[in-house]
Structure 1
């Protein structure tokens, strides 16, 4: 099992970054390893939106499919995801967005355990790089959507 917490301060409003990260259906447009994503079973309860995301990811010759339950909480500025099915024993994540002097402190927590020992070894060897790259991709997306840093 691998747990990680990464934080970054970004010069954008918390609500902007929450909206961008929570717009999961657009991930294939800007995250290169997400080959497809289909959202279904959407429910809305006050400020909380839940849906299932069926995702196909690909790295070189490796392709995997999995499904997560995504929860977007507008008032709390949270985006959570939990495994429904796929090549993991566990996959849970949470994005939080809190005001900071720079704009927003973005925190990403990930708890993952991969069933396949070979995939797990490859993932662990590249884990920090992959998650850092993911945060850089989201930062670039924020610049694209909201303009350059102030």
Structure 2
């Protein structure tokens, strides 16, 4: 099963990065290959936000839509994305954010594992997904700089 993980220090607080990643409806504005995202349901409990989202990803003539559950745990500074329906056999990604330097920066950890239901689709778009995942961290860091300002 293809998987990717990265760890990156950014010059924004863990809370800022958690808020940025939780704001999933903005993904089409800056996330590689994300062409549309709709939140179908949102429920909140103390410290936890669960969003059921339908995301469309595309590259050239290829477009796929899938549904996932996005659980944000504010106290733990982490986000879990679990696959519900679509072209995957398996899809799960995890984000975690750890403050450093008294909150002037944080360590962002991102892990994703996925497998397409169709072997042909996996061969056709798997390389593009890998390329997009490698650009995810950079896209979120650039977005944070745009929203919160670049800090050093």
Pairwise TM-score range, normalised by the shorter structure: over 0.9
For residues 143 and 35 of structure 1, the distance between their equivalents in structure 2, rounded to whole angstroms, comes to: 22
For residues 5 and 41 of structure 2, the distance between their equivalents in structure 1, rounded to whole angstroms, comes to: 29
Give the aligned partner of residue 20 of structure 2. 20
Q: CA deviation at 1:80?
A: 1.1
Q: CA deviation at 1:70?
A: 0.6
For residues 127 and 51 of structure 2, the distance between their equivalents in structure 1, rounded to whole angstroms, comes to: 31
Q: CA deviation at 1:115?
A: 1.3
Further displaced range: 31-40 or 53-62: 31-40
The 5-angstrom pairing of residues 1-150 of structure 1 reads 1-101=1-101, 103-150=105-152
* TM-score, normalisation: structure 2: 0.91
Please tell me the root mean square deviation across aligned C-alpha atoms, in Å: 1.5
For residues 87 and 80 of structure 1, the distance between their equivalents in structure 2, rounded to whole angstroms, comes to: 19
* TM-score, normalisation: structure 1: 0.92
Q: CA deviation at 1:147?
A: 1.0
Q: CA deviation at 1:49?
A: 0.7
- Mark the runs of 5 or more structure 2 residues left unpaired by the alignment: none
Aligned length: 150
Q: CA deviation at 1:142?
A: 0.7
Q: CA deviation at 1:126?
A: 4.0
Question: Residue 61 and residue 29 in structure 1: after superposition, are their counterparts in 2 closer, same or farther (change >3 A)?
Answer: same
Q: CA deviation at 1:77?
A: 0.8
Q: CA deviation at 1:131?
A: 1.2
